[in-house]
């Protein structure tokens, strides 16, 4: 005899599977690729129409819909997006009039400038921090900090515009890879959102805190001006920024709504290698809680962003 009494299942009621609401059906499954070379649009259609496969397609369609309706598509980006080689894809989307505003942290701006002027970027931090040489490349600090200081006294332009113009005026040999320069040439807003003390140019003698703060504050106001137009079908993409841009975006959105702009009913999406608190609540969840859609895609930028860019282009008429 067993020590423990077992519940009887004799009187449990059941019902037909035909009556049950099921969440998965074969018509939503992935479709095998029939040949070695297929259009991107066919590959996109081959993805399962379930969970992230369905959400990815919705996002692509929402981006295209936004541009057809002349609504903003704002790309917020961290530095890693540049470091893994996605700049040409962003530049292509800018030239195709898909992206209407680029907001980046100042680390992304540093990599962009180094690539545009010198054709290389991204040092070995682990070895350089041992002897205190990390972030001490003189030319990088003097170029960026110098242009910021000039900009604060000679114009009312913000951080992104000042650097974009400086790259163009310097005729950077590799400026074709520069998001900052491309935005400046196309007249598309590009904003740089700095947190003082977070970047290598803040370590050097050429750093001016008041100038840096003033120019990044100007760019905050430029971002507000773009965010205010997000109502009904706009899109915000956050790619690779875990803290700074989610925080800046939430404040920009708050100001826009405080000024009575109806910035609601838009789509947001975060792409990152891990799930983070601030991108989830400040980009995906809170801004869309009273109307809109929010998605979170986890994976490597060097895979997901090319897939996103190719999917958008394949769907464009």
- Residue 30: per-residue pLDDT: 66
Q: What is the pLDDT of residue 33?
A: 66
- Residue 15's pLDDT is 79
Q: Who has greater pLDDT, 59 or 6?
A: 59
pLDDT band at 122 (very low <50, low <70, confident <90, very high): confident
Mean pLDDT within 155-170? 96
How high is the pLDDT of residue 311? 94
Give the Cα separation of 152 and 166 in Å (integer). Answer: 13
Residue located via tokens 């740089």: 192
Q: Which pLDDT score is estimated for 245? A: 98
In the structure, what pLDDT confidence band is assigned to residue 71 with cuts at 50, 70 and 90?
Answer: very high
CA dihedral 296, 59, 109, 173 (to 10 degrees): 140
Closest CA to 61 of 265, 264, 267: 267
Q: Which residues pair with 76 in a beta bridge?
A: 103, 238
Contacts of 125 (CB under 8 A, 6+ apart): 134
pLDDT at position 120 = 87
Topology of the domain comprising 51-315: Deoxyhypusine Synthase (3.40.910)
* pLDDT tens-digit series, residues 178-225: 999 999 999 999 999 999 999 989 998 999 999 999 999 999 999 999
- Give all strands of the β-sheet with 235-239 in edge-to-edge order: 190-193, 101-105, 73-77, 235-239, 266-272, 292-298
Indicate the average pLDDT of the chain: 92
Q: Is the pTM of this model over 0.85?
A: yes
Q: What is the pLDDT of residue 35?
A: 67
Q: What is the pLDDT, as a whole number, of residue 137?
A: 83
pLDDT in tens, 214-234: 999 999 999 999 999 998 899
pLDDT tens digits, one per residue of 227-268: 999 988 999 999 999 999 999 999 999 999 999 999 999 999
What is the per-residue pLDDT for 246? Answer: 97
**Residues 236/266, Cβ–Cβ less than 8 Å:** yes
Sign of CA dihedral 185, 186, 189, 195: negative
Average pLDDT rounded to a whole number, residues 269-291: 95
Q: Given a cut of 80, is residue 37 above it in pLDDT?
A: no
Q: Is residue 132 very low, low, confident or very high in pLDDT (cuts 50, 70, 90)? A: confident
Is residue 70 exposed (0-12), middle (13-18) or buried (19+ Cβ within 10 Å)?
exposed
Phi/psi for 199 (5° steps) reads -130, 155
Question: To 10 degrees, the CA torsion angle through 224, 227, 229, 231?
Answer: -140
């Amino acid at each position: 005899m067993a020590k423990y009494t077992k519940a009887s299942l004799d009187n449990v009621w059941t019902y037909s599977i035909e009556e049950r609401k099921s969440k998965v059906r074969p018509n939503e499954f992935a479709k095998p690729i029939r040949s070695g070379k297929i259009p991107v649009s066919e590959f996109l259609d081959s993805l399962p129409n379930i969970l992230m496969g369905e959400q990815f397609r919705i996002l692509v369609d929402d981006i295209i819909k936004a541009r057809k309706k002349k609504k903003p598509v704002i790309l917020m980006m961290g530095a890693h997006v540049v470091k893994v080689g996605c700049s040409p894809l962003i530049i292509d989307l800018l030239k195709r009039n898909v992206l209407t505003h680029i907001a980046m942290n100042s680390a992304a701006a540093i990599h962009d400038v180094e690539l545009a002027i010198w054709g290389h970027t991204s040092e070995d931090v682990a070895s350089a921090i041992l002897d205190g040489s990390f972030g001490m490349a003189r030319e990088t600090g003097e170029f960026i900090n110098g242009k910021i200081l000039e900009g604060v006294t000679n114009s009312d332009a913000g951080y992104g515009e000042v650097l974009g113009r400086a790259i163009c005026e310097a005729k950077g040999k590799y400026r074709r890879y520069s998001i900052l320069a491309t935005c400046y040439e196309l007249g598309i807003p590009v904003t740089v959102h700095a947190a003082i003390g977070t970047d290598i140019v803040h370590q050097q003698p050429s750093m001016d805190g008041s100038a840096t703060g003033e120019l990044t504050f100007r760019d905050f106001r430029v971002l507000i001006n773009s965010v205010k137009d997000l109502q009904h079908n706009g899109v915000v993409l956050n790619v690779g920024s875990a803290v700074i841009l989610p925080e800046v975006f939430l404040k920009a959105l708050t100001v826009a709504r405080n000024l009575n702009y109806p910035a609601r009913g838009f789509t947001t999406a975060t792409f990152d290698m891990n799930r983070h608190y601030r991108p989830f609540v400040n980009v995906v969840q809170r801004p869309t809680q009273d109307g809109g859609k929010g998605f979170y895609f986890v994976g490597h930028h060097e895979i997901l962003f090319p897939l996103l860019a190719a999917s958008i282009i394949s769907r464009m008429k």
